[in-house]
Amino acid sequence: MTQQEIINSLIAGNEKFVAEKAEGKLRNKARVEELTTGQNPDTIVLSCADSRVVPELAFDKGLGELFVVRVAGNIANTDSIASIEYAVAHLGSQVIVVLGHESCGAVTAAVNGGDNGYNLNHLLCQITPAVEASEEGADVNTVVQKNAELNAEQLVERSKIIADAVNSGKVKIVPAYYHLKDGKVEFL
């Protein structure tokens, strides 16, 4: 499939999910057995760790179709970038979706500031650029969308593997936003 066909497949899968008509294919024992010899997901999703956002369900995809990397705030940090590099370099993935979501707790904490302890402060400082790039007083969901956009850029800026794949046309990166109220994914 082309990159646009892959994106169209994600959109169609999300429309089925929202309409409660998800097909749930490739989620059976035969698929499990088929994947024992390897994987070749065409899509990578850098998603928040929030339990309410499940990319496989949101896009109506089955086992082996998505390479999902989850971290609070869907940030492009060293570990998440390395995981994405693996999928780009070794699995042939063609599309990367950076998926933020409505009412993200990590973004909310970054907007609110304060001391959240060493580890969480470290994570939140990686969301601070989105807070600073948003208009003063912007609501959390506006910052979430800016965060997805900036992290999409970070993947290219911080990884030669990903940058080379994007620049050669082998990979396309798209930021997106998941609406909690209905499960709709909006590509930004």
pLDDT tens digits in sequence order for the chain, 188 residues long = 999 999 999 999 999 999 999 999 999 999 999 999 999 999 999 999 999 999 999 999 999 999 999 999 999 999 999 999 999 999 999 999 999 999 999 999 999 999 999 999 999 999 999 999 999 999 999 999 999 999 999 999 999 999 999 999 999 999 999 999 999 999 99
What is the rounded distance in angstroms from the CA atom of residue 111 to the CA atom of residue 105? Answer: 10
Report residue 84 as tokens: 């994405």
What are the residue ranges spanned by the domains of the chain?
3-103+155-187
The amino acid present at 59, given as its one-letter code, is F
Just give the CATH number of 3-103+155-187.
Answer: 3.40.1050.10
Task: Output the pTM of the full model.
Answer: 0.97
DSSP state of 36: G
Q: Are 80 and 69 in contact (CB under 8 A)?
A: yes
